[in-house]
A and B are shown apart, each in its own frame.
Chain A
Amino acid sequence: MNHLITAAGICKEFHVGSSTLKVLDNIDFNLHRGEFIAIMGPSGSGKTTLLYILGCLERPSSGSYLLNGVNIIDASDDELSHIRANSIGFIFQTFNLLPALNIYENIEVPFLYRSLDDSGIRERIMGAIAQVGLTERVRHTPAELSGGEMQRVAIARAICADPLLVLADEPTGNLDSHTGMEILKIFKKLHANGSTIILITHDREVASVADRIVYLKDGKLIDNASAPEQKAV
C-alpha cells in the first residue's frame, strides 16, 4: 500500500537545565493514504510532540521522516512552512480560531499561504462551512459561537484546502460528550470521503472511531492494534 508517512527511529529530546528529557524514544511509524489512526496515551507520553513532528512544526532530534516521499528532516524552515500550507490541516483542542476574524475569514487563513490560484477559493470555503453545518453563521465571530460550533469551524479550516493529512489534537477534549459525538461523526464522514487523519486522544471511546490505534507510553510506541481488537481488550 502507498505510504503517506514513513517515520523511523524518531527521537525527541529537550534540554532542561543540565539534564536531558527524552520525550520520544525511537519511534517507527507508518501511515497509509486514506487511513484514520488514533494515537492514545496518558498525559506527558509525548502524543502532542509526535503530532507536531508529523505536522512538520517540530524537528525530531534524530530519525528519518518522509511525508509523501519528501524528506522532512533536511527541509528548510520555509520548505516546512510550504509543506504545512499545502499538505497539512491542524485541528486543536482549544480550537485556536482568530477572535478578530469571522468564520469565513478564519477558514480563509490557510489559503493565504497556499500555492493555489485564486479561482474557486470562495466556493471551497463555503463548501467546507456547509460540510460542518454552519452556513447560516458565516459572518459570525468566534465569540458568538458555542464550543462545538468553534470546533466545527476549526475542522472546516483544516479540511477546506484538501490537505494530504489532517492532524487533530484532542478535538473533543473541550466539549461535552454530546457535542463531542457530533464532532466525531464529522471525522467519520471525512474519513469516508478519503481524508487521511491522525487523531490524538486519551479517550478510548473517541479513539474507537479510527481504523487503527497506536499507544504511546513514556515516549515509546508500545502497541499497534486495529480498533475492533482494542475494543475487545
Chain B
Amino acid sequence: MHLRLNRKLFKFIALAVKSLLQHKLRATLSILGVVCGVAAVLSMLSIGEGAKRESLSQIEQLGTRNIYVKSIPLTEMQEKKSRAKLSQGLTLYDAQRIKNGCRGVQDVAGLRELKASVFGAIKDVMPQIVSCSPNYASMLKIPIFEGRFISDPDMQEGKLVCVIGHNVAKNMGASGSIGNYLRIENSLFKIVGILRRIESKERKAGAISLRNYNDMVFIPLTAASLVSKSASVTGATAWPEVTELVVGVSTVQQVLKSVPAVKRTLEITHGGADDYQIVVPQELLNQSRKIQRTFNIVLGSIAFISLLVGGIGIMNIMLATVSERTKEIGVRRAFGATYSDIIIQFLAESTILTFTGGIIGIIIGLGGVWLISAIAKWNTAITVLSLVLPLLTSILVGIFFGLYPAYAAAKMDPIAALRYE
C-alpha cells in the first residue's frame, strides 16, 4: 500500500514535470514573481544575519559589561564655556569618581589617543599610539603573546615602556622583541610586551572606534606628555587627561542600571558641561536591532509582494492549465481518478513550478548576496535557515495558490469534462 502510494506520487510528479516541460516559456514566465520573492527572502536573511553577526562581534569586542565615556572635541568657544563651568575635560579623576561612587562599577580604565610618529624599521604599518591605564588590557581582554602589559609601577613612575601589537612586532623584525627599544617622537620606549594576533578590523561602533590592536602601540598614560604636546596633565591635582574611559560593570544585567549613576557623577565633575558622551554597547545592539528590523520590514515587504504577485501568476497559469486539460480530467475521472487524485495531480504541478522558482531564486539570491557583499562591503552570512526558509516558502506558495485551481479541476463534472471540446 505504502509502495503503491509512493509510486502514485512519483507518477504525479513525473506527469507534472512532463506537463510543465511542454510549456517551457509559459512556465518560466509564471515563476518570475516567485524567483524575485525567494531571492529577496534569501537576501534579507543573509544580510540580516551578516549584520547581526557584525553587531555581535562589535559588542563582543567592546565588551557587553562595559560603558564607554568618550570626550567630545570642543571648539575654542565651547572650551571656554566648559572651563567656566570648572570642567577639566575627561580625566582619570572622572575614572576615580565613577569607580568609587557608582554602584555595580568594578573598574574604570582610561585611554588617550596620541598623534605621534614612530621611527625605526616599521615599513608597512602605521602604528596607532595610545596611552592607557594598566587595567585597560584586562578590562578589554586583550591577549598578551609575550611579556606583560603596562603595570601599575610603570604608570606611577611614568616609565618609558611600551607594549606593541602583533603586526608592529612582525614588521619590526628582530628589533620588535622584548627588551628592545622603540623610538616614538624623541623618546625611546622599552618593549615590555607583545600582543597576540587578534582577528579584528578597524571600524566604528556608534561613537566608539573598534581598534585594531595588531597595529597599536600602548604606553603608560603618565608618559603621554613625552610624545605628544597636546597630552598634558590638567588642573592642580594633575590628573592625566584621557579621550576615553571604559567603565566595567559587575554583570551584564547591571550595565543599564549603572548608566544613570555614571551620568550623574560626570555631571557633577564636569559642572554640567557637555564635553563628553556616554556610549553603551548594549544600546548599540538595540539600535542595530532597530535598524535591522526596519531593513527586514522593507525587504520583507518586497519579498511578500513579489511572492503574492508570483502566487497570483501561478494561480492564473494553473487555472488556464486546468481549463486546457478539461478533457484529460474527464478521462482520468472515467478511469477511476478520485477527487483527491485530481487535487494532488494539479497541486504537484503548481508546487513543482514554484519549487523550481525557489531553486532559481536561491541561485539568483546567492549571486545578489555576493554582489552586495562585494560592492557595498556589507557583511552577509548564508545560513541553513536562509536557504531552507525561502525554499519552504516557495513550496508553500505553490500549495496555497495551486489549491483553488486544483479544487476547480477536482470538482468538475466528469461527463461535462469528457464532452468538453
Contacts and interface: CB of A to CB of B under 8 A. Distances in A.
Interface of A: 52, 55, 57-58, 77-78, 81-86, 88, 90, 92, 96, 98, 100-101, 109-110, 112-118, 157
B339 A78 contact: yes
Interface string B17-43: 011001000000000000000000000
Contact of A85 (B336, B340, B414): B336
B7 A113 contact: no
Nearest to A116: B4
Given A92-B418, A96-B418, A118-B7, A55 B334 contact: yes
9 contacts: A81-B341, A85-B335, A96-B418, A100-B18, A100-B22, A109-B331, A112-B11, A113-B336, A113-B338
Contacts of B334: 55, 57, 84, 90, 96
A90 B418 CA distance: 11
B333 interface: yes
A81 B338 contact: yes
B416 to A, nearest CB: 11
Contact of B336 (A52, A114, A118): A114
Contact of A98 (B11, B328, B337, B339): B328
Contacts of A58: 415
B8 interface: yes
Contacts of A77: 338-339
A111 to B, nearest CB: 9
Q: Closest 7 A-B residue pairs measured CB to CB?
A: A85-B336, A113-B336, A81-B338, A110-B335, A84-B336, A96-B331, A90-B334
Contacts of A83: 336
B327 interface: yes
B332 interface: yes
B330 interface: yes
Contact of B335 (A90, A115, A117): A90
Given A57-B414, A57-B415, 20 more contacts: A55-B334, A57-B418, A77-B338, A78-B338, A78-B340, A81-B336, A81-B341, A84-B334, A85-B335, A85-B336, A88-B336, A96-B327, A96-B330, A96-B331, A100-B19, A109-B332, A112-B337, A115-B4, A117-B3, A118-B3
Nearest to B3: A118
Nearest to B331: A96
B8 to A, nearest CB: 6
Interface residues on B, range: 20 to 34
A109 B332 CA distance: 7
Given A96-B327, A118-B7, A52 B335 contact: no
Interface in B35-87: none
A82 B334 CA distance: 10
A112 B8 contact: yes
A58 B3 CA distance: 32
B211 to A, nearest CB: 67
Nearest to A89: B335
B336 A82 contact: yes
Interface in B393-421: 414-415, 418
A13 to B, nearest CB: 15
B415 A118 contact: no
Interface string B333-358: 11111111100000000000000000
With most chain A CB atoms within 10 A of its CB, the pick from B335, B337, B418 is B335
Given A100-B18, A118-B4, A113 B341 contact: yes
A113 B337 contact: yes
Given A109-B331, A110-B336, A117 B415 contact: no
A52 B331 contact: no
With most chain A CB atoms within 10 A of its CB, the pick from B4, B328, B331 is B331
Contacts of B340: 78
A52 B330 CA distance: 12
A163 to B, nearest CB: 10
B3 A109 contact: no
A81 B331 contact: no
A81 B336 CA distance: 4
Nearest to B334: A90
With most chain A CB atoms within 10 A of its CB, the pick from B8, B327, B328, B338 is B338
Contacts of A101: 18
Contacts of B332: 109, 113
A116 to B, nearest CB: 8
Given A52-B415, A118-B7, A98 B331 contact: yes
With most chain B CB atoms within 10 A of its CB, the pick from A55, A57, A112, A118 is A112
A151 to B, nearest CB: 14
A184 B3 CA distance: 39
Nearest to A113: B336
A130 B409 CA distance: 34
B415 A82 contact: no
Nearest to B330: A96
